[in-house]
């Protein structure tokens, strides 16, 4: 049996297993989705979102890209965020990075990666922002792990900069979480992102209402 044939065989087994527990399983699944979570993670084949969280179909809206980046000119991730937050009204948004991330490792090396250069530059920008802390870490492996964590943290900041997330936080208490999957142990680590503090810090510059308010003030005069 080829690997492709095996996948179709696996699919048949999976259907049978689901139907054995609930004969209306797929019937119910087809009715719609109302996930409470949006998960933004790495495309890495070893970091299987649903598996490591132990969740079922319908529970988590998922977006994966190289090194779990939230780039504000990436129409793909921005569409996912807007749809999940404004329409599906998820309660939690998670950015999940992982140790031994190839994308993060590539960004740490002075090498021309072709089309990947502009993508990896986002990680290099994280390094630049936290250069003092990172350069002070002697152990290269530890420095790399810390960059994985700081990258997650910065992608959470990028999420909090968006109008959709700020509005949903104000209206219904939406929370942003930063996690790291430790590939050596299988453990999920909560970086305990301080949402209110980050929001307070960035509001002066990234408040989507600021420009509008300033304009109104000028108009009144
Ligand atoms: Co990765």
Active-site position among 22, 46, 172, 190: 46
> In this structure, are 86 and 165 located in the same domain?
yes
Is 23 found in the same domain as 69?
no
Query: Same domain for 22 and 76?
Result: no
218 CA to centre of own chain: 39
42 is catalytic: yes
Ramachandran region, residue 32 (left: φ > 0; alpha: ψ -120 to 50; beta: rest): left
Residues in the chain: 221
Clarify whether residues 157 and 74 are in a common domain: yes
**Residue 221: pLDDT band with limits 50, 70, 90:** low
146 among known catalytic residues: no
For residue 192, give both structure tokens.
């305990």
Same domain, 79 and 8: no
Would you call 46 a catalytic residue per the annotation?
yes
156 is catalytic: no
Q: Are residues 100 and 11 in the same domain?
A: no
Which of the following is catalytic: 44, 63, 96, 156?
Answer: 44
For residue 16, give its domain range.
1-31
Q: pLDDT digits over 149-182, tens only?
A: 999 999 999 999 999 999 999 999 999 999 999 9
Residues with CB under 5 A from ligand 1 (ion): 42, 44, 101, 103
Q: What is the DSSP letter of 42?
A: E
Same domain, 95 and 189: yes
Q: Are residues 22 and 41 in the same domain?
A: no
Distance CA 144, CA 46 (A): 18
Sort strands 187-190 and 175-182 into parallel, antiparallel or unpaired: antiparallel
Predicted local confidence at residue 85, as pLDDT = 98
Q: Which residues contact 206 (CB under 8 A, 6 or more apart)?
A: 160, 161
Domains in the chain, number? 2
124 is catalytic: no
Active-site residue identified among 63, 96, 98, 177: 98
Confidence (pTM): 0.91
Residues 30-45: what's their mean pLDDT? 97
Residue 194's CATH number: 3.40.1050.10
What does the pLDDT read at residue 31?
96
Residues 21, 43 within the same domain: no
Q: Give the pLDDT of residue 204.
A: 79
The residues with which 181 forms a beta bridge, in sequence order, are 98, 188
Same domain, 54 and 99: yes
Confidence of residue 213 (pLDDT cuts 50, 70, 90): low
Do 12 and 94 sit in the same domain of this protein? no
Q: How confident is the model over 111-126, as a mean pLDDT? A: 94
Please report, rounded to a whole number, the percentage of residues in the chain having pLDDT higher than 90.
Answer: 85
183 and 77 part of one domain:
yes
């Amino acid at each position: 049996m080829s690997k492709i044939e095996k996948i179709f065989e696996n699919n048949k087994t999976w259907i049978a297993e689901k139907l054995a527990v609930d004969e209306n399983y797929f019937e119910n699944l087809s009715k719609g989705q109302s996930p409470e979570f949006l998960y933004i993670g790495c495309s890495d084949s070893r970091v299987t979102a649903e598996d490591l969280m132990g969740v079922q179909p319908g529970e988590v809206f998922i977006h994966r890209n190289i090194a779990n980046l939230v780039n504000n000119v990436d129409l793909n991730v921005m569409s996912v965020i807007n749809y999940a937050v404004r329409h599906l009204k998820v309660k939690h948004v998670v950015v999940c990075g992982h140790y031994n991330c190839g994308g993060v490792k590539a960004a740490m090396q002075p090498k021309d990666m072709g089309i990947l250069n502009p993508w990896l530059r986002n990680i290099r920008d994280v390094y630049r922002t936290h250069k003092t802390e990172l350069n002070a870490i002697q152990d290269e492996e530890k420095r790399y792990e810390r960059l994985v964590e700081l990258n997650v943290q910065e992608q959470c900041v990028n999420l909090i900069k968006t109008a959709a997330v700020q509005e949903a936080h104000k209206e219904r208490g939406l929370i942003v979480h930063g996690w790291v999957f430790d590939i050596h142990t299988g453990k999920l680590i909560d970086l305990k992102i301080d949402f209110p503090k980050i929001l307070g810090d960035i509001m002066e510059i990234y408040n989507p209402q600021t420009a509008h308010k300033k304009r109104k003030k000028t108009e009144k005069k």
